[in-house]
Amino acid sequence: MLKKLMKYDFVWIFKVLVYHTTILLVVAALGRLISPLAPRSMFWGITDGVFLSLTIAAACSLFFTAFMRSAARYINNTYKDESYLTHTLPVTRGQQYTSKVFSSVLVLLVSLVVCLIATAICNSYKNRWEMVKHYLSNPQYRTLILLFVLVVVLQIVCMLLCTLAGATFGYRKGSHKLLHSLLCILLIYVITQGIMVGVIFLISRFDSGVAMLFTTSTRSMMEFLTDPISTRICWILAAEYIVANVALFFLGKRALEKGVNVD
């Protein structure tokens, strides 16, 4: 049943994103075609800049829409008109919640892959590839870049899980459900991030490298990034986000399993 639920959730969330994906890839491809012309004149230079901006905007829009569609799917399906079908299906609430979370994460991952493909298209000429190869040939940079992407993905998933858990708590109230939901989302997010910063601070008490994050202010960002300690901090962050996301998932699932009050 979970697979069937996920199929319908994924299709609903991704339906609109097909247009965003197409626009992003087309804009990226056009940008790629125009880029070699940029040095010829100011006109082509400006056009190149416009297409680069459009590509970034389309990528942001894709992610934002994926996030909002995921949240909308959960709220519509769990508390609004469609909930009259959702809660009468022969599935457990745990399966419903798991389906929403997994399909949303899947959509976010697909969006990320599309963004990476768009980035690859934009930069698919020799000079850029040489630069990318240069960075990826350095093991430290390679690890750092991958970790950075992982942390960003985990952070987005964390925001999504805070939204779903917050909405679940908010909609349990008898009135002003949307307002309560927004407050719960904010509260859960702030508490999660606070705990994460607290854990890093605790680690810094025993690790002088990590302590630099709180004690040093004179180093430039570039210096910091080239320091091996930044990789260690990213590892810690990734581990923290994984633990936080698992905890948030079970928090939201448990809250939904306790019961609903549909509109």
Q: Which two tokens stand for residue 83?
A: 């909930």
* Binding of another protein by 65 (CB under 8 A): no
- Interface map 146-175 toward another protein (x if CB under 8 A): ----------------------------xx
Q: How far apart are the first and last CA of the chain?
A: 25
Site for another protein in 10-39 (CB under 8 A): 12, 15
Distance of alpha carbon 153 from its chain centroid, rounded? Answer: 4
Q: Which two tokens stand for residue 123?
A: 């930069």
Q: Which stretch binds another protein (CB under 8 A): 18-26, 28-36, 50-58, 81-89?
A: 81-89
Cα four-point dihedral sign 242, 243, 246, 247: negative
* Binding of another protein by 89 (CB under 8 A): yes
Is the CB of 78 or the CB of 163 nearer to another protein? 78
CA dihedral 121→126→131→134, nearest 10 degrees, is 110
Return the residue of 34, 87, 120, 124 that touches another protein, per CB under 8 A.
Answer: 87
- Interface map 170-209 toward another protein (x if CB under 8 A): ----xx----------------------------------
Helix residue ranges per DSSP H, 35-138 = 42-79, 83-86, 93-122, 126-137
| Under 8 Å between Cβ of 100 and 74 | yes
Q: Which stretch binds another protein (CB under 8 A): 41-49, 84-92, 125-133, 208-216?
A: 84-92
Query: Which residues, in sequence order, are CB contacts of 110 under 8 Å at separation 6+?
Result: 14, 17
* Binding of another protein by 68 (CB under 8 A): no
Is the CB of 5 or the CB of 28 nearer to another protein? 5
Interface contacts to another protein, rule CB under 8 A: 1, 4, 8, 12, 15, 81-85, 87-92, 174-175, 258-262
